[in-house]
Amino acid sequence: MGLSQRLQDGTAVFGVVGLGYVGLPLAIEMAKSGHRVVGMDISAEKTAEVNAGRSYIPDVPTADVADLAAKGLLSATCDFSRAAECDAVVICVPTPLNDMKEPDTSYMESAARAIAPYLHEGVLVTLESTTYPGTTEEIVQPILESSGLKVGEGLSLAFSPERVDPGNAVYQTRNTPKVVGGVTPRCTSEAVEFYGRFIDTIIPVSSTRAAEMTKLLENIFRCVNIALMNELLQVSERMGINIWEVVDAAKTKPFGFMPFYPGPGLGGHCIPIDPFYLAWKAREFDLHTEFIELAGKTNEAMPYYVVQRLMNALNDHRKALAGSRILVLGVAYKPNIDDMRESPAIKIAGLLRDKEAVVVYHDPFVPHFELAGVEVPSVDLTAEEVASADAVLLVTDHSDVDYGLVVRSAKLILDTRNALSAFADDKVVRL
């Protein structure tokens, strides 16, 4: 029986390889559609949590995991031979950069190698990890075909970029349109039918490369525009112009403008990393992606700029950064989540330490934070704690913070997010 038939009669079993920020929400949506889902991960801790009916991803309610696990619709394992049970398998493992800022495809390769021996005829495999155009066919396809199955002859293969936006209360896995591109037209149509079981809107494109490039376009668009704002921030500051006011005014234009904001630097698993996947691949074609390189350079300089601005602000209070107590407010890479990956707070805290500042932090989502190799706990946000700091450095604008207390108690605040625009107070310095 083919995948299509098994999808229609509801007997198709789905597999998810990599149960992280992307994989777990996806597995939940799949299981909610009534299909049995096998989650596969190298982390015994995560698979045990799923089987115990507990969530470790803030956007995924524990009640959903518990309900679906109890119904037998969701289970997890470190045993990749269970890929044999699956009619469709989705791979969503990490795609980081190595120290040389080159793509590290080893996670994708080992995930594909782990499932390849167990794939059965008629199976669909899709890759969701963000990567450069060509990965699905150049890296994943040969590994999967080592099983003896060939794409177009018993194996379907497609790329479908994940667009999850952690912390977004409106757009989640189900209602975020999904782009799909297969190796062959049949691979595309099978992938469209598969995703259509649990995602509202599917957008087919002509190839895996087009689908891979779509995700990179989305992230490069953000990376370049944020860099532009970071450049304009520095020009505006020198000219005595409030850039945040300017963006707010510009965004009243009802067409042809989309607001982006400056900040302390890029964070997260996507925007600081994915553009360099394309920059690396472009070199194979004798091309240099100068916008990407320039944006990377501008954005990477922001933590240094923030520290310089903090030194200037302290100087105005006749203080040196060395020996000053700095309370870093918010360390996650964006508001209202606990994700620390690539957070600019990591770089900023390191720079502050290098300058011999005394660094403490508060983040309602991140109970521990590694500072110069030492794990330190988040301090309580009391009036005494805030008052004991020579400066508060607001890096992440979480909603669940008493900003009134911070402004009342602080001696000096450098606000890198314009989170305190409602407080007209001389001690608040805007980036």
Whole-angstrom distance, CA of residue 400 vs CA of residue 173? 24
The answer to whether the CB of 103 falls within 8 A of the CB of 132 is yes
Burial class (CB in 10 A: 0-12, 13-18, 19+), 374: exposed
- The single residue among 14, 21, 132, 361 that binds ligand NAD, judged by CB under 6 A, is 21
**Residue 270 falls in the annotated catalytic set:** yes
Helix (H, G, I), strand (E, B) or coil at 103: strand
Closest CA to 260 of 208, 221, 204: 221
Q: Name the residue nearer to ligand NAD (CB basis): 22 or 88.
A: 22
Q: Show contacts with ligand NAD in window 240-299 (CB under 6 A).
A: 269-270
Whole-angstrom distance, CA of residue 171 vs CA of residue 164? 8
Asked if residue 199 binds ligand NAD (CB under 6 A), the reply is no
Q: Show contacts with ligand NAD in window 48-107 (CB under 6 A).
A: 92-95, 107
- Which residue minimizes CB distance to ligand NAD? 20
Q: Name the residue nearer to ligand NAD (CB basis): 44 or 372.
A: 44
- The single residue among 36, 46, 82, 178 that binds ligand NAD, judged by CB under 6 A, is 46
- Stretch in the footprint of ligand NAD (CB under 6 A) among 34-42, 306-314, 328-336, 405-413: 34-42
Q: Name the residue nearer to ligand NAD (CB basis): 295 or 314.
A: 295
Strand partners, 40: 17, 77
Report phi then psi at 87, rounded to 5: -95, -20
Report phi then psi at 142, rounded to 5: -60, -35
Asked if residue 391 binds ligand NAD (CB under 6 A), the reply is no
Q: Name the residue nearer to ligand NAD (CB basis): 135 or 207.
A: 135
Asked if residue 403 binds ligand NAD (CB under 6 A), the reply is no
CA pseudo-torsion sign 314, 317, 320, 323: negative
The answer to whether the CB of 393 falls within 8 A of the CB of 327 is yes
For the chain, the 3-state helix, strand and coil shares in percent, each to the nearest 5, are 40, 15, 45
Active-site option among 86, 92, 223, 270: 270
Asked if residue 414 binds ligand NAD (CB under 6 A), the reply is no
- The single residue among 110, 184, 189, 388 that binds ligand NAD, judged by CB under 6 A, is 110
Asked if residue 178 binds ligand NAD (CB under 6 A), the reply is no
Q: Name the residue nearer to ligand NAD (CB basis): 269 or 430.
A: 269
What residues line the site for ligand NAD (CB under 6 A)?
17-23, 40-43, 46, 92-95, 107, 110-111, 114, 128-130, 162-164, 166, 269-270
